[in-house]
Structure 1
Amino acid sequence: MEELLGQFSFGLFILQTVLFVGLILLLKKFAWKPILDAVNEREEGIKEAILSAENAKKEMMALKSDNQKLLDEARAERDTMIKEATAIKEKMIADAKSEAQTQGAKMIEQA
């Protein structure tokens, strides 16, 4: 340790300190600003992408809800149409039976 203190040069220490401070200032001026700008730009891009994804998710949920409503309406309409068709079928069968009985009664009378 004493060898290092014995070989210590105050002039060399000052020169190295000045060079180090100069290097820090050069890096601050030419490297840090572009690096920080790039990092900030990337951060903004990520924020925009997250917001865009959240908006897309909300839109998809709204579309899913609308699709479910349309599907429910279509099912209700289908059920109504089936009930109407069943009622018409039963009426036609009842009318046909009534007509057949009437025709049968007429035939019996004629016979």
Structure 2
Amino acid sequence: METKQALLALAALAQESRLAVFRLLVQTGPLGMAASKIAEELGIAASSLSFHLKELSHAELVQSRQLGRFIIYSANITTMNQMLGFLTENCCGGNPCTPVSMQQCATTEA
């Protein structure tokens, strides 16, 4: 993941309602959820939800598909994993992050 895409994704998640929507969709899994159900679950007005879903879609954090007359939204797990990889790249100086490594990092900083 490039820095620009990571910034876009992090900015999209840096808002309470969008973070709640994304977390709900991650919990829901690949089957996803209709926008009306998301609004009901989180108590977000449909007009606000539409805006938040657009922002999450623009950041490639959610994807949508048509199912009859409904639009089903699901978390884009690929983008989420790329973002996590970007954030943890070279974590602990390239050493596995274990309690021992964490203790060594703390000792080094002191």
Name whichever structure is richer in helix by fraction: 1
Work out which structure has the larger RCO, using CA pairs closer than 8 Å and 6 or more positions apart in sequence. 2
Structure that is richer in strand per residue: 2
